[in-house]
């Protein structure tokens, strides 16, 4: 059975006659689907949000970093469609799962989206299919969670169907690396599944990196993001240490990175954002408890990074007190930037939302400006901010507020105009100085 089903799947991947289903038309799933269409496959995109298939059918993108022309081009091939009808999963030879893996209110893994999606696949599973989980998770998820659900219908993993894990490595808005140019790690627990997954991704990605099993692939993604989390925590702590010494941490980092070996620059900020770095370390610390293994270093990094939004508020409050001779209560604050990183409209886990709520809790009158985020979307953690709209740009915008707090350093912002008209600017990203805008009214945080 293994040879028969695996050989047939490999042949369909080789001649591009395979149909691919991508579940989740979000930041990961949509660019993945478009790349697979470009490789010559027929692709069905699945999403529970009825608006997404409707907009895709109309050739409209709902992400700023993905142009509508890319959607229209995929539609024009006749090989791309999107739907909410999950019974069509039976049509797919390969199914890629790209759904969220958030944390619950106790900072523990919430696999409900993965589990529900896997149950839906199981209800439509047929022999010969390859199922690949791309959602970031703890080592053991593919084998311990997905495999038993998929086998409930009587099909056997590794014989009747094949299962693999390949962590997404999307970086929305990155001009240097896209879906097809970022090496792809692939792990599976049997040789046929590994070969099929490697063959599949190799048809549209320049470099595929097979690893021995799904746990190794799951751990690879966590390692990548924990590495970033720990190093960001380090420079955040260095910022706190250097400040009372009169040392500029940004100047130090720029000098240190001139060393051609042994140093990699990371930069401090107002807190972690995005769907990976603030979340992934908790997936590993949670799983490590099952093995009674402490994760002190990782947890300490999480504590430092999680404390940054509160530190930003205290730095702002101190600056308002010293420069404006008033408290935050009643102070008009313009938050500059709402997205979690510059030049994208991605709001996932953005520290700006927490900062805005903390400011409101202190009695400040809060507005925000973000050219990429005209309106704040609904979020589970910050429902009170839903629907808040960005103010319109004008050169003297800062004159309408007591203080400007920079959280996200978009390039398409006139920092000189803001500083010229602001009574006080508190910058958490060193963006004003990078733009050549400096003055006595600028404070680094």
Is position 276 annotated as part of the catalytic site?
yes
Return the beta strands (E) in 147-287 as ranges.
162-165, 184-188, 208-211
Pairwise CA distance, residues 415 & 342, whole Å: 14
What pLDDT does residue 4 have? 63
CA-nearest of 131, 141, 133, 149 to 98 is: 133
Number of helices and strands in the chain (H, E): 16, 13
CA distance 153 to 164: 19
Task: Please give the pLDDT value at position 404.
Answer: 98
Question: In 291-410, which residue ranges form alpha helices assigned H by DSSP?
Answer: 296-306, 308-319, 351-361
Beta-sheet strand order (sheet of 130-133): 80-83, 42-46, 19-23, 94-97, 130-133, 162-165, 184-188, 208-211
Residue 21, number of CB atoms within 10 A of its CB: 26
- CA–CA distance, 59 with 53 (Å, rounded to integer): 10
Give the model's pLDDT for residue 1: 40
Q: Is 130 left (phi over 0), alpha (psi -120 to 50) or beta?
A: beta
What angle in degrees, to the nearest 10, is found between the helix axes of 214-242 and 249-256?
A: 130
CB atoms within 10 A of CB 171: 18
pLDDT tens by residue, 130-183: 999 999 999 999 999 999 999 999 999 999 999 999 999 988 878 889 899 999
CA distance 395 to 392: 10
How far apart (Å, rounded) are the C-alpha atoms in residues 101 and 136?
A: 7
Domains of the chain plus CATH, in order, are: 2-212 (3.40.50.720), 222-304 (1.10.1040.10), 307-444 (3.40.50.720)
Q: CA Rg, the chain, in Å?
A: 24
- DSSP letters spanning 354-377: HHHHHHHHTT-EEEEE-TT-SBPP
CA distances from 384 to 311, 357, 387, 388, 392 (A): 22, 8, 9, 9, 21
Say what the pTM is. Answer: 0.91
At 2 the pLDDT is 54
Contact at 8 Å (CB) between 321 and 356?
no
Q: Of 396, 392, 394, 402, nearest to 426 (Cα)?
A: 402
CA 96/CA 29 separation, integer angstroms: 8
Residue with tokens 């190093």: 231
Token duo for residue 91? 């049509």
Across 258-279, b (16+ Cβ under 10 Å) vs e yields eeeeeeeebbbbbbbbbbbbbb
CB neighbour list of residue 181: distance below 8 Å, 6 or more residues apart? 205, 206
Per-residue pLDDT of the chain (445 residues; tens, 9 = 90+): 455 666 789 999 999 999 999 999 999 999 999 999 999 999 999 999 999 999 999 999 999 889 999 999 999 999 999 999 999 999 999 999 999 999 988 889 999 999 999 999 999 999 999 999 999 999 999 999 999 999 999 999 999 999 999 999 988 878 889 899 999 999 999 999 999 999 999 999 999 999 999 999 999 999 999 999 999 999 999 999 999 999 999 999 999 999 999 999 999 999 988 878 888 899 999 999 999 999 999 999 999 999 999 999 999 999 999 999 999 999 999 999 999 999 999 999 999 999 999 999 999 999 999 999 999 999 988 999 999 999 999 999 999 999 999 999 999 999 999 999 999 999 999 999 999 999 999 999 9
Identified catalytic residue from 35, 146, 188, 276: 276
């Amino acid at each position: 059975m293994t040879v028969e089903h695996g050989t047939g799947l490999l042949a369909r991947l080789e001649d591009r006659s395979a149909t691919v289903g991508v579940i989740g038309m979000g930041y990961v799933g949509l660019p993945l689907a478009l790349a697979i269409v470009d490789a010559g496959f027929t692709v069905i995109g699945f999403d529970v949000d009825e608006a997404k298939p409707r907009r895709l059918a109309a050739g409209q993108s709902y992400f700023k970093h993905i142009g509508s022309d890319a959607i229209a081009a995929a539609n024009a091939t006749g090989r791309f469609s999107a739907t909410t009808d999950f019974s069509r999963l039976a049509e797919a030879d390969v199914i890629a799962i790209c759904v969220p893996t958030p944390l619950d209110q106790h900072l523990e893994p919430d696999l409900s989206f993965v589990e529900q999606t896997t149950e839906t696949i199981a209800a439509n599973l047929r022999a010969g299919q390859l199922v690949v989980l791309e959602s970031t998770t703890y080592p053991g998820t593919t084998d311990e969670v997905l495999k038993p659900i998929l086998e409930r219908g009587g099909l056997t993993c590794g014989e009747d169907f094949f299962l693999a894990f390949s962590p997404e490595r999307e970086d929305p808005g990155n001009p240097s690396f896209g879906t097809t140019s970022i090496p792809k790690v692939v792990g599976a627990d049997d040789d046929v599944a590994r070969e099929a997954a490697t063959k599949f991704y190799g048809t549209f990605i320049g470099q595929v990196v097979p690893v021995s099993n799904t746990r190794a692939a799951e751990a690879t993604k966590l390692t990548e993001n924990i590495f970033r989390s720990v190093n960001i925590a380090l420079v955040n702590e260095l910022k706190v240490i250097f400040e009372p010494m009169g040392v500029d941490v940004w100047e130090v980092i720029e000098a240190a990175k001139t060393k051609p070996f042994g140093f990699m620059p990371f930069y401090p900020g107002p807190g972690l954002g995005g769907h990976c770095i603030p979340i992934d370390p908790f997936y590993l610390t949670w799983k490590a408890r099952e093995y009674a293994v402490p994760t002190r270093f990782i947890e300490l990094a999480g504590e430092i990074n999680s404390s940054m939004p509160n530190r930003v508020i205290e730095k702002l409050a101190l600056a308002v007190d010293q420069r404006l001779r008033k408290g935050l209560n009643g102070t008009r604050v313009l938050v500059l930037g709402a997205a979690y990183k510059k030049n994208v409209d991605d709001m996932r886990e953005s520290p700006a939302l927490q900062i805005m709520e903390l400011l409101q809790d202190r009695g400040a009158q809060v507005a925000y400006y973000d050219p990429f985020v005209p309106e704040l979307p609904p979020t589970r953690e910050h429902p009170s901010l839903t629907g808040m709209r960005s103010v319109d740009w004008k050169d003297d915008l800062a004159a309408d507020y007591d203080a400007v707090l920079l959280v996200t350093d978009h390039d398409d912002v006139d920092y000189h105009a803001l500083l010229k008209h602001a009574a006080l600017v508190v910058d958490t990203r060193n963006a004003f100085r990078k733009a050549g805008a400096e003055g006595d009214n600028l404070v680094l945080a």
